[in-house]
Structure 1
Amino acid sequence: MQAIRVHRHGGPEVLTREEVDIGLPGPGEVRVRNRAVGLNFTDVYYRSGAYPPPALPFTPGNEGAGEVVAVGEGVGEFTPGDRVAYYVDTPRAYAEESIVPARLLVHLPEAIGYETGAAMMLKGLTAQYLLRRTVRVAPGDTVLVHAAAGGVGLILGQWAKHLGATVIGTAGSPEKAELARANGCDHVIDYRREDFAARVREITDGRGCDVVYDGIGQATFPLSLDCLRRFGTFVSFGAVSGPIEPFDIMLLARKGSLFTTWPLLPDHLATREDVLAMSRELFEVVASGVVTIPVHARLPLSEAAEAHRRLESRQTTGATVLLP
C-alpha cells in the first residue's frame, strides 16, 4: 500500500511516497480505503515539527473519506463496504488505506460525495464548534472572520450568515474578497490595503463585533481585540502567520473586559456522543445546501509536496483534496 511518509521535519521536500504495511485493524478499529484525503494547515505544522507527531517516521493527514475494508474486534457499527468519513487527532490519512478508531468514524450520507466528505470533517467540525459551542452565534450578532476565503473561513461565513449574523470577513486579494462575499460575508476587508480594525469600527458604527474568529495568529493580534465590543470574545483557532506572543492578561480588561479562548477540536470530540451530534449537524447543513464545501483543487496523493507548497504560499482558496 502506498503512503506519504515523513522521516525528518522540514519543508515540503520531506514528504516521500513509500510502500507500507498497516496491518489489520485491532479492537475498536476500522480499516478504511481512502477515496479522498483533506489538506489542512495542521499537516504543515506536523511536517515542520511545530506540532509534535507521535513518532518519526509518520504519515500526515487528519481527515479523509472512503469505504470500510475491515473491522476489528468489538466494532458493530460498521461493516465492509460502508461509506464513511473521519477526522483523527493522530495523523495517518495520506495513504491509500488508513486504520481509524471506530469512535471517530461516521457514516457518510449518500448525498455527500467522497471529496466533499474528505474536505469537510476537520474544517466543517471546526466551524461547528466555533459557531455552535465556543460562541453560540444568534440572529443579530456581528462576527469577524479572518481569512474568510480559506477552507474554514468559507464555511464559517456561510453558516454564520444562515444563523442570522452580520458577517465581516478579511481577505488578502480582490479575488479572495469576491469569493468571501459569495460565501456569506456582508462586508469584506482587504487586510493588505486597509486597517481592518478601523474598518470594523466604521462598519459597526463604533460598536464592534460580538466575536472574532482568528485562524491567522501573530499577524492579526492584538488588533483583533480592537474589533470587539465590550465583553466580546476573541476566538483563536490557528496560527498560519506564527503563534501569538505571550501577553499581559490585563490587556483584555483594558480593551473592554474581553473574553479569549483557544478551543481544540479533539476536546469537543472527546465522547462518541459528541462525534455523532457534531457530525449530524454538519451533515444536515451541507446536505440541505445551506453550506457548500468548495473543493477548489484536486491533486494526486503523490503530489502532496506540491499541495503543501501551494498552501504555505497562500495560493489556495477553499479546500484542496488529495486523491490516492
Structure 2
Amino acid sequence: MRTYLSAACSAVLVVLLAVLVPVGALSAWVDLEIDNTDRYVDAVAPLADDPDVRNTVADLITDGAMRQLDAGPLQGAARSFLHRAVLSFTTTDAFRDAWTTANRTAHEAVTAALDGSTGEAVTIDLAPVTEQVKRNLEENGVPFADRVPVQHTDITLISADRADQLRQTFRLLRDGSVWPAVATVLLAALAVAGAWARGGGPGHRRSTTAALAALAWTGLGFALGALVLRAVVAVARGRVLSEVPGDETAGAAAVYDALTGSLRTTAWIVCAVGLVVAVVCAVLVRRRSGGGAAPAAGNPGAPAPTCDDGRAGEEWFP
C-alpha cells in the first residue's frame, strides 16, 4: 500500500512540474525579455543580417514607395532598380543602426499592442528604416529617391485576430512575472525535503534513498515540462505565422525565432539536465535498496539486503 501511495505522489509531482515548468519559463520570459527594452532589442538586432528580414524590408519599402511613384512606361524598371538599391542598403552599417532604432521605438508599441485593446495587430514600424534609406539613396543620386515617401510601413508579427486571442494569456504571464518559476523550484525542493524527512531524517539510510527517489521523479518532471514548453513554442509559432500576410511571413518568422530563442535553449537544457538527474538518481536508488542484488559469494542462503528498519529489499523508487 505504501508503494502505491508513493507512486501516486510521484505521478502527481511529475504532472505538477510538467505544468509549472512551461508556465514559469513563459512568465519569466515575458518579464525579463519581452517587457525589457534592452533585452528585446538585443534579441532582434542581429536580424539586420538575416536574408529573410532584409528581403522583407526591401519588398515592403519598395512596394510602399512605388504606390506613390508614377514612372510611366518605366514603372517596372524603376521598381526593379529601387528594390536593388534598397536591398543593397540593407547590407550596410547604416541599415543595422536604423533597424536597431526601429525596434527600440517599436518595443513600446509591441508590448502596448499585446496589453492593449482588441483589434490591434502587433507590428514593427519601418519608418525609421525608410527615412534612412531615402537619405542614402538621395546621397547616391538614385532616380526618384526624393519622391520616396517616409510613411508607416509595418512588418506584421501577430495579426489582429491572433493578438486578440493571445492578449489575456499575455496579461496573465506578465502578472505572474518570475513567481511561477520560483514556485516551481520551491515545489521541487519541498518534494525532496519532504521525502528525506519521511525517511527518518539525518543518519537514516532510508532518508537518503527516499530523497534520491524524489529527486529522480523531480528530474523527470522537469524534463517533461521542458518538452511541453518546446511544444508550446512550436505550436504557437505555426498559429501566429499562419495569419501573417504571405509577403511578410519570412521576416515575421525570423523575428519570432529570435525572440523565442532563449525559450528553446532553456527547454533543451532543462530537458537534458532533468533526464540526467532522473537516470542517475534512479540507478542510485536501485543500488541502495538492493534491487536485483545477488546473494553474497559463498553464502547462497544469505538474506537480501535490508534497510535500517529491517524491511528487506523495500524500494523507494516505485
Normalising by structure 1, report the TM-score.
0.21
More helix by share: 2
Q: TM-score scaled to structure 2, two decimals?
A: 0.22
Larger Rg: 2
